[in-house]
Amino acid sequence: MNPKCLGIWVGWVGVGLLALGGCGQKGPATYPVSGTVTLDGQPIPEGRISFIPEGGKAAPDSGSIENGKFQLRVKAGRHRVEITADRPTGKIDPVMGMAPRECYIPACYNSQSILTAEVKPDGHNQFTFHLKSQGKSQTQ
């Protein structure tokens, strides 16, 4: 084989091996988590849910909420749960040409969240969050 071709072939094999090496899981193990979120008895149309590990030693795991349902992978342990959702205010901003958005979920469920969840490696990690506009929730 031509030495120049051999060098190119070896280079492509090396790139392939590097690519395969990058396919494994990195970081702590995560587990399936799912559930529902309602506000005043109605499913949240769309939003975000974040599971923030207690102690702040690991990055949060976040996912979307659609039609009141969420499904994502989360690290095991106790977490503070933050839920956010916004909607258009209805007033068009003449500069932006669209309505600004407002967060309608009370702060006690996001920036000052009182919600918690325990994610277990061998458990049934399904959670239901019943939020109230006035701030007190029930969690299951």
What single DSSP character describes residue 107?
A: G
Domain count, the chain: 1
Tell me which residue range forms the domain holding 53. Answer: 28-139
Give the pLDDT confidence score for residue 13 in this predicted structure.
44
Residue 4: inside a domain: no
How many CB atoms are closer than 10 A to CB 63? 16
13, part of any domain: no
Identify whether 12 is part of a domain.
no
Asked if the structure places residue 48 within a domain, the reply is yes
Q: What's the CA gap between 88 and 108, in Å, rounded?
A: 21
Strand ranges (E), 76-125: 77-84, 86-88, 101-103, 115-119
22-76 confidence digits (pLDDT tens):
555 578 899 999 999 999 999 999 999 999 999 888 999 999 999 999 999 999 9
In a domain, 53, yes or no: yes
pLDDT tens digits along 89-135: 888 888 888 888 889 999 999 999 999 999 999 989 999 999 999 86
Residue 16: pLDDT band with limits 50, 70, 90: low
CATH code for the domain of 91: 2.60.40.10
| Separation of alpha carbons 103 and 105, rounded Å | 6
- Asked whether residue 4 carries a pLDDT value surpassing 90, the answer given is no
User: How many other CB atoms are found less than 10 A from the CB of residue 109?
Assistant: 23
Q: Is residue 14 part of a domain?
A: no
Neighbours of 134 (CB within 10 A): 9
The answer to whether residue 79 is domain-embedded is: yes
Tell me if 68 is assigned to some domain. yes
Closest by CA position to 108, among listed 137, 128, 67, 76: 137
